[in-house]
Amino acid sequence: MFKYIKTATWFLLRPRYLPQIFQVFKRNKYKKKENTKHNATKWAKDNAIDKLTTIKEICGNDAQLIHFKTEFTEFYNYALKQQKNCPVNMGGEGAVDMLYSITKYKKPKNIIETGVAYGWSSLAILLGIKDIENAYLISNDMPYIKMNNDDYVGCVVPGNLKSRWELQRLPDIVGIPKALKKFDYRIDLCHYDSDKSYTGRMFAYPLLWNALVPGGIFISDDIQDNIAFKEFSEKVNRQPFIFEHKSKYVGILVK
């Protein structure tokens, strides 16, 4: 009972996140699909290729996986320090070298990412577009419920990279449509790393995909969690590029 009161209080103090409750209720409808981790993991494992092959398939044969941590030591050290000084643990970062490399090679202009936490993926993308004229990143994030990490979301992104960045603090159900509208429903790259449920993905994937320009890049983290990414890649009839990252799997589709 106390748990429910705490959750209700968290939402009442942050009404902008209330629409997420509808998404959580909707998970009951897809109960069976929510519990497909075993099949999804096997499929991802069976279809995974290494990171270098992935980057070459997507960005061309000359492409390499660039380690942004060594290219931008100062930014990296700043980010590490920020993370260390953060009083709440917001979990690990996604495949940031891959994100940086794809951004660097493909030079996308309109970019949306979902899920920020410390902001490592935002940092990688912002460094990748640093010298690309008119490139802009909109990140959408709703903080972890009851963790009180609101003030620290995106804390590894330094002030001098923020002119090309907007951090929307909304649940995906509201934030993704809003971000797409800001880009006039034309995006070049998206990185999905927020609501990992089947329900959340099946809401967000089609919206993001429909706004992607031909040749645009669709990246989703943790595709082993459930069968959503597999089903979606079949639905849009694209061959997925899958690689392993920290014992999890990332999937990429090219439109």
Ligand X SMILES: C[S@@+](CC[C@H](N)C(=O)[O-])C[C@H]1O[C@@H](n2cnc3c(N)ncnc32)[C@H](O)[C@@H]1O
Q: Which residues bind ligand X (CB under 6 A)?
A: 20, 91, 93-94, 114-118, 120-121, 140-144, 171-172, 193-195, 200
Nearer to ligand X, 1 or 13 (CB): 13
- The two tokens of residue 153 are 């979301």
- Measure the CA–CA gap between 99 and 156, rounded to whole angstroms: 16
- The two tokens of residue 49 are 């290729």
Q: How far is the CB of 24 from ligand X (least distance, A)?
A: 9
- The two tokens of residue 241 are 């590029």
Nearest to 186 by CA among 167, 209, 220: 209
Nearer to ligand X, 148 or 239 (CB): 148
Nearer to ligand X, 91 or 215 (CB): 91
Nearer to ligand X, 87 or 214 (CB): 87
Nearer to ligand X, 143 or 216 (CB): 143
Q: How far is the CB of 215 from ligand X (least distance, A)?
A: 23
Q: How far is the CB of 122 from ligand X (least distance, A)?
A: 7
Nearer to ligand X, 62 or 252 (CB): 252
Other C-beta atoms lying within 10 Å of the C-beta of residue 118: 24
**Could you tell me if 48 and 242 are in contact, meaning their C-beta atoms sit under 8 angstroms apart?**
yes
Nearest to 153 by CA among 175, 135, 183, 133: 175
- Kindly report the length of the chain: 255
Q: How far is the CB of 137 from ligand X (least distance, A)?
A: 12
Q: How far is the CB of 8 from ligand X (least distance, A)?
A: 17
**Could you tell me if 55 and 101 are in contact, meaning their C-beta atoms sit under 8 angstroms apart?**
yes
Non-local (6+) Cβ contacts of 143 within 8 A are: 149, 150, 153, 169
Q: How far is the CB of 232 from ligand X (least distance, A)?
A: 17
The angle formed by the CA atoms of residues 192, 195 and 201, to the nearest 5 degrees, is 65
- Measure the CA–CA gap between 54 and 226, rounded to whole angstroms: 22
